[in-house]
Structure 1
Amino acid sequence: MCCICFYNHESEEQRTKYMCQHCKARRRFIVDLERDLSSSRPDASAAIHKIDEASRHANSAGQPFKTRLGLVKAHYLLGQPQPPPDISSSLGSCYDSETQTLDISLQTDSMERYIARDLRLKSLPAWIAKLDLPLKVIDVSGNPSLSGLPVNELCGMRALKEFKCESCVTLSLPPPEVADQGGKAVLTYLRRVREEGKENKRMSLILIGNGEAGKTSVLQALKSEDGRANTIHVDEGRTIGIDLHAWEPQGEEGLTFDVMDFGGQAVYGKSNQYFIVRRALYLL
């Protein structure tokens, strides 16, 4: 067992302090491989060949290194537009046949669960539903680059019981409040969205800026037919706190913005922060 196996769950500072020169060299080798894959952009077969060659060199390097290489390979394979040949067997340690779990999660504080940003999975492919694997659990949690899911395909996987996606900060569906409840709650939510969900054409628009910067004038111009704002007198037109408006853009049937026009003076800064929400369109 390599020395890093004993420190894999320690902080990066502790790992660097206690890691032997051999493990430092092995980790540097993996980092160089990731950089090569990111910069040279080889085709799928060439990239997989490079990863497999690296894995053969890492056979005696300890489990964290093997796990990291397996994770790099799985993310690369699942990032392809079409399923590569023999992908079921190529997923290696990322697929547990006993629990029927596909684990491609990233825990960024753990060396074995970290891979370069350019190699991370950006969206889960729709063809994952056609894999010759009886998947019960899919874990993509902790991936800050994941932004898209094939909802219809995931919901159609009858054997699938859990889909774990907590801490995927760029993923909008499911919302983080649901993702934090666990894989079963996520799958239940996605299936209900597919069966009963309705398109929501109402959203928040928040105007933020310094005092007298022209936020209210911009809003008036957006709402007017000729795209122009009325003159606002300083002594009468200053926004006090927050002004609320409703705006229905012309030519966009059913679309409604709930507008919050924030007062820009410094005195409102602390109170305005309580109205900052994640699911909104911001105009600065």
Structure 2
Amino acid sequence: ALVSLRLCRNQISTLPASNKWKCSLLRTLDLSRNQLGKTEEGPKTRKLAFLTTWHRRDPDPVCPIEFPVILRDALEVLSLNDNQLECVPQSVCGLRNLMELYLSNNPGIRELPAELGQLSNLWQLDIEDLNITNVPQDIRKEGPASVLSFLRAHLRKAEPCKLLKLLVIGPPRQGKTALLEALQTGRTSPFSPAERNISTATWELDRPNGVKASADSVTFNVWDIGGPANMSTVNQCFFTDKALYVVIWNLALGEEAVASLQSWLLNIEARAPNSAVVVVGTHLDLIDTKFRTERVATLRAYILALCRSPSGARASGYPDITWKHLHEVSCKTQEGLDGLKRLIFQVACYMKDNSSSSASGHKLLGRLIPKSYLTLQQAVLDERGRRDAEDEVQYLTDAQLDLVIEQNPGSDIRDYEDLQTAISFLIETGTLLHFPDTSHGLCTLYFLCPVWLSECLERIIHLKSSRSVAWNGVIRAEDLRMLLVGTGFTQQTEEQYFQFLAKFEIALPVASDSYLLPHLLPPKPAMDIHGFRQETANSIQRLFKMSFVPAGFWERFIARMLISLTEMDLQSFEPKRNAKSERRRTTVIYSFAGTGSQQKNRCSTFRVRRSQTIYWREGLLVTFDGGYLSVESTDVNWKRKKSGGIKIICQSETRDFSAMAFITDHVNSLIEQWFP
């Protein structure tokens, strides 16, 4: 079969009729350096020359430049450069498998048809030396992908979007809500505890004086995320990509407040790496004016020491924060508020979509959004309002979302990929919450209202540790299900809800019928364990030193270890039934088997008579006759260095240190699986 046809330099001015083409497998067609488009009958209109069917009595009529349907699925490369075309033949837009299109040196081509944007496989578009008037020059400079995106947007009646999601976050009682009120209204109210963990609002910020930008204004979908310290685990589920984060801290609390920013900044980078971050210090009026300049400079240096290496490069695991992203304000005197508005506006104008096909990324502000996406956005907001008024559950299933789309007959959202792009737009602008990167059904739920979702999660976070409900931080699955009563989650969506809890380390499964609630774990061991840590010749230590310990690591590590201990229960030995055994009935013998090997050797199996298992927020201790095994976070002075770590100690009077290999394997596999 003919797959490549090169007809360059043959003075061809017309093409055969469509019914004459038989090469259905043709992949490359070179018609460059010919006379396509040239007529001897004088100038014709573009439409007459190329977009109409000529009617002649000749049994073999000469057709205009039209490519047959037979080439639609096969043709990949088409060269039309160096001809006399006055426009791009419309039939080219139907060659849906086209990858390369060469149009240069056709001086008559002044416009590109919007339908070219439908060619999803087209990656090479040569329009060099063409005076294209319907595509802006800055778009053309970005390359074929940007040109095609622009044409696709025009075809879909796209509109510039000036909506961004803005999250105001930080430790409790730092002045987040007061600052937001001052920015929006110019006044502040006396402090009062927030009634809700999260609140939402819309804020339109006009371009401040002195700011050079093409945008006249930007509209923010503001999520004010606060609540008590124990809600910080829940708050990270609201972190989404391509948003602007304003991280608030109290200047008056000094170095202590700076240290508390670390977990927030790490969570932003882990959950939303393509976002912009502004760090704002509040209560500027509480710093004596005599020492203010020096004190603020010192605190700024501490923040930058968190986020950047000594050489000035961006530190691993942290957002890209420089001194330009730092600001200080006083809500009481309103000092610094105008400067903060300018900073927020400037950062918003420079935010880019780094996941776009353009090498440098498109700016988020003013990007062209298909009208069907905007229509869907309004439909979702209307559905949220209706459900709120009728006190209905605030999430949609896949089928319900499809129904919302179908209710708009003018929607051009047709395929799965396009729908996912539309949903991404809704997530990025704060219209809904969705987690497409998950399985087991969570990816089929679309949360409409963050306030409603937060209230559902508060039921778990406000749970107190007790023998009846959650003993040692572990809750029975049936008790966890009881917390769903009245939320609107049904038996059909129960599994999705549990997966949501596990995704954000709110509740992690440790057995088929129980879950670990990490927020109930004590910050320190429940007993003094320093007596165990006497360095002897019978102990070894291993240190995992990291630039940072990933957010969520300890929650998942503790859960994984509890699962292993449960599995070891099944492997436990039955002690001999003698008087001594009866007196020590509570002692269990565990086999610490390595996950990667079934061989019963020194490196893979460690058998002990376990006496105690103690675990806390960032550590675990197992004691046994003749030794102990401990895993805990290392103490790092954050002022001097940003490195953290995991310390493993194994002590054994019999010098059997095979448990070290077991723990090391667990740490390595956990990091590889969840924090690559």
TM (norm. structure 2) is 0.16
Whichever of the two has the greater Rg, that structure is 2
Which structure is higher in RCO with an 8 Å CA cutoff and minimum separation 6?
Answer: 1
Greater share of helix: 1
Normalising by structure 1, report the TM-score.
Answer: 0.33
